[in-house]
Amino acid sequence: MSESKPGSIKSTFAVSITNFLDSGSIVAGASGLTLWTKAFGLSSFQVGLLGALSANAFGSAIGALVGGHLSDKYGRKVIYTYDMLVYMLGTIIVALSVNFPMLLVGFLITGLAVGAGVPASWTYISETSQSTNRAKNIGISQFAWSLGPALIFIAGTALSPIGLIGNRIIFVALTVIAFIGWRLQSKLQESKAWVDQKAHERATGEKPHPYKDLFSNAINLKTLAFLIGVYMFWNLVAGAMGFFMPYVYETAGGLSNMQANLLQAVLWIFTALATYFGFARYGDQANHRIFFFVGSAMAAASWIVLSYAGMNWVSLWVFVTLWGVSAGIGAQAWYALWATELFPTKYRAGSQGIMFFVVRGSAGIWSIVFPTILTNMGFKAAGTFMIVLLIISLIIGTIWTPQTRGKSLDEITKERYGDDLDEDEKSNTTISSNSNTTSSHTNHLTGGAK
């Protein structure tokens, strides 16, 4: 069996399937939420519980906590070898569900698989990229993340005439895509940065503690707080949207299921285009602070329009355009990049697992609360909550934007940790293909976001 070369388009594509399946499973559930609710007679609490235990929240949170640690301990490739098998089990259970408990179990298993795979995928892409194309490759993975919902909402629209059967078909399709992803990812070579780190540990007898090393360093604690602040407050909004937005369109806006899914499909098409032609193309070149601010400001503006201009077709299209573009160049793309840049190899995936656990866990709590706020306080109150959350993320990310543009992972680690990490550890924070980038990027050392 031939293996894909690390850092190649083929390997980046293979890993990015994980991101496609992450968002795909969320919106597959979202596009059929009203159908499942009607078929099984679900209460508001049960609807919230589905969102809370899915790939949107607690399910992926727990998966990330476990998967991130296992990725650092046993390798990035181990996750790819087994993770998709678990995902396939979850999606098949959902597709065949005959009652609420079965549906809930399927959502939970799918969420666990998604959470385990995402930290490993972002870490692998970053470690196998060079300083000149790291944002581009992360952007490609984010393109896959946004393309999944676009295609699934289009499929949901096309299949809406056959009702719940159409949503079951979508989950079967996700199972097939996961099988393809499993085949491709099983051919990947291991990250050289991880291999070198493990060789260093064997040579020195070092046995890193998965959490002690991470939490005993003040730099790490500040970085965790920053990244969680940027991502969590944004994801509380995005997570609720990903699972509940069609439900909101239908209950608060009076749209049909077909109209709601079509509107979301257009939104995600805007996101995919902005990710590819915006973040992936210019993320390695543009001023990071300005880039982040523009995306975050558009996100806040979109919810201001939707919440206070009334839910009519004009405000809906303005919202879809603003949010769609902002999601492609905003908080998640930058989080995916910064989270892989700002930690050393030995706990790069584990740190992401912890942050993902906090972020998706908080989204789980919000998923239980949001339907109640929407029902009891109305859409304007729920929208105001969303605006406040987005502004908090904007402020944190804009003020403390990391200056990492044009630098290898090795250079970033040396600048951030200095003597806090021994020289052997520093040498393992980047792949060998990056070893020649230091001299060619000397002029970029001060070229990060200003």
CA distance 194 to 201: 11
The pLDDT, as a whole number, for residue 419 is 61
CA distance 242 to 247: 10
The pLDDT, as a whole number, for residue 180 is 93
The pLDDT, as a whole number, for residue 426 is 45
Residue 361's nearest CA partner among 68, 107, 67, 58 is 58
CA distance 80 to 70: 11
Residue 188's nearest CA partner among 143, 135, 121, 116 is 121
Fold of the domain built from segment(s) 9-193+208-444? Growth Hormone; Chain: A; (1.20.1250)
Residue 175's Cβ-side half-sphere holds a number of Cα atoms within 13 Å equal to 17
Instruction: Work out the angle at residue 334's Cα, subtended by the Cα atoms of residues 231 and 230, and round it to the nearest 5 degrees.
Output: 25
Integer CA distances (angstroms), 163 to 84, 126, 167, 254, in order: 27, 41, 7, 18
Q: Which residues of 16-40 are buried (b: 16+ CB within 10 A; e: fewer)?
A: bbbbbbbbbbbbbbbbbbbbbbebb
Chunked into runs of 10 residues, the chain (450 residues) has average pLDDT values of: 58 85 86 89 86 80 89 84 91 96 95 89 86 90 88 85 94 96 86 85 78 87 96 92 80 82 88 95 94 98 94 92 96 94 89 92 83 86 95 98 90 82 46 39 35
CA distance 116 to 63: 4
The pLDDT, as a whole number, for residue 7 is 52
Could you tell me the residue ranges of all domains in the chain? 9-193+208-444
CA distance 124 to 134: 11
What torsion, rounded to 10 degrees, do the Cα atoms 411, 415, 420, 423 define? 30
CB 356 within 8 A of CB 115: yes
CB 97 within 8 A of CB 47: no
CA distance 317 to 306: 9
The pLDDT, as a whole number, for residue 429 is 44
Residue 168's nearest CA partner among 95, 109, 102 is 95
pTM (two decimals) = 0.82
The pLDDT, as a whole number, for residue 240 is 84
Beta-bridge mates of residue 178: none
Tokens for 102? 């079965």
